[in-house]
Amino acid sequence: MKKSVIAATLAAALLFAGNAAAQIKIGLHAPQSGPAAADGKSSTIGAEIARDWINEKGGVLGQKLELVTYDDQNKPDQAVPIANKLIGQDKVVAGISCSYSAPTRAAAAVFQQAHIPYVSAYGVHPDITKEGNWAFRGVQLGPPQGKGAAKFIADKFGKVKVAMVTMNNDFGQSIADGFKEEAPKLGLTIVEEYTFGLGERQFGPIVASVKADNPDVIYAIGYYFVGGPLVAQLRAGGLKQPIVGAQAFDSMKLMEIAKGAAEGVYVVGGMDRGRRTPADFQPFLAEFKKRAG
C-alpha cells in the first residue's frame, strides 16, 4: 500500500478516534477470491503491515488499530452491502478499498453518504473521488498513467506505430483515454485499438488483427489475469514487437501465467522498487516479501 494511503487513513482515524471504543476500527474490502484475488491479497498484506507497525509504536492516541476486512470478489454488488456492513455493524471510522475501480466507485457513494473517510488504494477511475469530499485516492489517476505510457514509448522507441489492446472497463478506458490524448502530441501513430472484456482469455482474433496491422509497439491495458494469456498468445502468434503493459501488469502472477513469454515485457506504473525514500520503504518491501512469499 502506498504511504499516501496509509497517511490519509491515519489522519481519518485521528479525527474520528473519539467514536471508537477500545480500538480504532478501519474497514477494508478487497477481492480475496476470484480472478482478482492476487491483487486483493497483496494489498491487504500491505495494510496489515502498516497496522502492525503502527500498533507496535503504540497505536493512535493510545489505541490500537483494527482492520475489519471483507471479500468483495471485485464485484460492485458485493462492495455496496460490505460498505453498509462496515459502517452500520462494524462502526468503522474510515474505509479502504483494495479493489478495482468499479467496486470502489460503488462503495465510495455509501461512505460519502455516511460522511466517513474512504481511501482508494489503487482504483484509477477519476469518478471515484468525484463522489464527494469524503473519498480519497492513493494512486495516480488512469489518464495520467496513459499519458506516462505514451511518453515512455516515444522516449524509448521514437515516433512509432502503436496498436492498443484495451480492457473494456473503468480501468482500461480511463488509462486508454490518457494515452490517446497524449500519443499524437508525441508523434505516435495509433494504428488501431482493440478492446476485450474482463472474462476473455482467448485472444486469437485480436492477435491475428494486430499481426496484420504490423505495429512497431503493442500497448496492452488489462489486469494480470488477462495480461498473462494475452502476452502468451501474442508471442505464440509470432508477434515479436515490444509489448508495453499498464500498471496492472506489474504482478508475479502475470509472469507465472505467461511464463517465458513475459520476458522483455515493459510495464509503465507508479512503483519504483529501487527507491530509497521514504526511509521505511525498503523495510516495507522486505517485510512484504516475507509475508507474501
Question: 96: domain CATH number?
Answer: 3.40.50.2300
Residues 81 and 126 in one domain: yes
Residues 11 and 108 in one domain: yes
**C-alpha cell read off for 80:** 455496496
The amino acid at residue 153 is: I
Mean pLDDT over each residue of the chain, to the nearest integer: 91
- Give me the pLDDT at residue 17, please: 47
> Model confidence at 88, in pLDDT bands (50, 70, 90)?
very high
| Structural domain that includes position 70 | 3-139+274-292
For 61-67, what is the mean pLDDT? Answer: 94
| Domain count along the chain | 2
**C-alpha cell read off for 132:** 464527494
> Model confidence at 22, in pLDDT bands (50, 70, 90)?
low
Residues 178 and 225 in one domain: yes
> Model confidence at 126, in pLDDT bands (50, 70, 90)?
confident
Name the nearest CA neighbour of 149 among 62, 244, 232, 72: 244
For 187-209, what is the mean pLDDT? Answer: 96
Q: Measured between alpha carbons, how far is 216 from 28 in angstroms, rounded to an integer? A: 42
- Give me the pLDDT at residue 268, please: 94
Is residue 3 pLDDT above 70, yes or no? no
**C-alpha cell read off for 241:** 514487437
The amino acid at residue 67 is: L
Is residue 165 pLDDT above 60, yes or no? yes
**C-alpha cell read off for 212:** 496484420
**C-alpha cell read off for 250:** 506489474
Residues 135 and 148 in one domain: no
Residues 129 and 15 in one domain: yes
Give the pLDDT confidence of 232-274 residue by residue, as tens digits: 999 999 999 999 999 889 888 899 999 999 999 999 987 778 8
Residue 115, phi-psi category: left (phi > 0), alpha (psi -120 to 50), beta (remainder): left
- Give me the pLDDT at residue 109, please: 96
CB distance 117 to 138 below 8 Å: no
Residues 193 and 279 in one domain: no
Residues 12 and 80 in one domain: yes
Q: Measured between alpha carbons, how far is 95 from 83 in angstroms, rounded to an integer? A: 8
Q: Measured between alpha carbons, how far is 59 from 55 in angstroms, rounded to an integer? A: 4
Residues 45 and 108 in one domain: yes
Q: pTM of the entire structure?
A: 0.77
